[in-house]
Amino acid sequence: MKAITANPETIREVFSKRYIIPDFQRPYSWDNETCGKLWDDITDFYGTGVTNDDKYFLGNIVINLSVRNTVSAWEVVDGQQRLTTLLLLIKALHSHAGTVKALEKCLRIEDPLTSDLTDELRVNSCVISEDRENLQAVILDKLADGMQESNIISNYGFFCEKIDEWRVHNGNTSDKLNRFILALLDNVVLLPIHCGSEDDALTIFETINNRGMSLSDADIFKAKLYHYTPANEQDQFIKDWNQLEDHDGLFRILMHILRAKAGDASKETSMRSYFTKNDSHLSAYKEIMKSLKIIDAIWYGWYGTDKIDSLWHIMDTYPNYYWQFPFFVFLHKYGLYNETAGEFILPGKYTSKFEELMDATVQYFFIKGVVYNSVNAVRDTVYKVCVDIEKEKDYLQDYKANIYKEDIKDFKDLLDTDRLKRYQRGIVLLCAYLNPKQDKRKFAEFMCGRVDIEHILPRKWNNYDGWTDELWNEKLNTLGNLVPLSKSLNIAARNEFFDKKKEFYKESEIADVLDLTKVKEWTPEALDKKQKEKTRRLLSYFGIK
């Protein structure tokens, strides 16, 4: 194996080179959900207040230098999905800030003689012609009506929408967008692993994905649990392990269950450190595996009540996962698990207490989220709630004691604005669930499908029903203009006039949507009326006068 080098590079440095996606790679496959995680990671990093020295690591790419037709380029053996997606994000940013030359240089190759930008892209796919053509159409502004939908085109549109939303929530100024662009280019980094040959690159790729360099926490825990399992039980251990899903997620929850049992409400350490620095956490392999099975059964198979299922799905929209820990600590403590059938049940006498915990958790997390938009605002309280659940103390008081008068005032004020940030989707769903006319079973079933948030006044501007451009900008993303709609109905109703939309709304099972069919025109006055109605409904649930 020849020399291998690996040095972190900023996005600006990474996209100063020419890349080829070789034909042995699979086609581009990232979807909107995966792109959403990348977008959230980057915007969360930027939202912490980035200084020149701050860096955010996005992962590895494995490349080797290749010469084709006398042209040198880096052949991408691992990382083509990430590189292509970043190219789409850069293009989406460029479409919102076309004067930023630095973005253009990341998209297209410069002529070595004139330094003019050519039509050759920084990333050229040799996998399938559709990927290459769609990427060129997006980057070179050649998208046309009637083009077949693809992940590349869909994800580009997704990033454009996310940037639109980000700009609205951040004042819609060029200066703020430019600062975000600079943070992306100069503070977000990748680790290119430069290999001496394609064979070496493939070996490194296989090692990363199969044997070691990118071992997940769960891979390490599995090895330790296997070590502690007696030889005659190891085959069963492997069988049980393979039946579990999202092992890292299960261990994250388990860590907080074990911390609660130990009365530990201190700042958490990393999951890997927690489980490996204290052998007792994994040496009790039978108890560990049973707990993992319980968590898995709750996560993937348990249906409590319509309320439990609905609120759980609503909290699934929350930008971080800390809300899960009090739920699982409670259920692990009070639930019953049939290991033979793999089924979890919560005895009826605990159901109302769990629903009470869910209400308190929903209220606390959305107030803190909307007001502070930071995980730091909820973590310490969650640790204490988990401990007090386990110790059978007044855990609800932990939430109440950490919601301040200023929080309530700010939350109340923000409900009437378009500044609900990453919590908008959850608030819209919660509001719909709370509609007194809503059939709760139908809502729970609705939440199991693909759900979109519908803009009644469409995001594509239409000048009608008394709306001005100023009012449209002000009201577009407020609660009064938003309802949950199944994805199929949302596609059908998208950008139609209100009278036409109502025909599609009639097919919904959501009361907030059906209520709109009784509204004659979607005027500013009609929207304001809905805004007040929904705000009152939410404030009543949150116990705010």
pLDDT in tens for each of the 545 residues of the chain? 455 677 889 999 999 999 988 766 677 889 999 999 999 999 988 987 778 788 899 888 888 888 766 778 888 888 889 999 999 999 999 998 866 789 999 999 988 888 888 999 989 887 666 788 889 999 998 887 777 788 999 999 999 999 999 998 887 788 889 999 999 999 999 988 877 665 555 555 555 554 333 446 787 788 778 778 888 888 898 889 989 999 999 999 999 999 999 999 999 888 888 987 777 788 889 999 999 999 999 999 999 999 999 999 999 999 999 999 999 999 999 999 999 999 999 999 999 999 999 999 999 999 999 999 988 899 999 999 999 999 999 999 999 999 999 999 999 999 999 999 899 999 999 999 999 999 999 999 999 999 999 999 887 766 666 788 888 889 999 999 999 999 999 888 877 788 889 999 999 999 999 999 999 999 999 999 999 999 999 999 999 98
Q: Are residues 167 and 225 both part of a single domain?
A: no
Question: How many CB atoms within 10 Å of residue 146?
Answer: 4
Q: Are residues 367 and 511 both part of a single domain?
A: no
**Rounded distance between C-alpha atoms, residue 306 and residue 86, angstroms:** 40
Q: Are residues 396 and 294 both part of a single domain?
A: yes
Q: In which domain, by residue range, is 333 found?
A: 217-402
Q: Are residues 500 and 353 both part of a single domain?
A: no
Token representation of residue 300: 């993937």
Considering its fold, how many domains does the chain have in total?
3
Q: Answer whether residue 89 is part of any domain.
A: yes
**Rounded distance between C-alpha atoms, residue 346 and residue 354, angstroms:** 9
What are the angstrom distances between the C-alpha of 340 and each of 241, 300, 359, 397?
A: 15, 16, 32, 38
Question: Looking at this protein, which amino acid is placed at residue 188?
Answer: V
Q: Are residues 140 and 83 both part of a single domain?
A: yes
Q: Are residues 347 and 474 both part of a single domain?
A: no
Domain boundary residue, one of 158, 188, 211: 211
Q: Return the H-helix or E-strand segment holding 196.
A: none
Q: Are residues 279 and 300 both part of a single domain?
A: yes
Question: How many CB atoms within 10 Å of residue 187?
Answer: 20
Domain boundary residue, one of 170, 192, 211: 211
Q: Answer whether residue 408 is part of any domain.
A: no
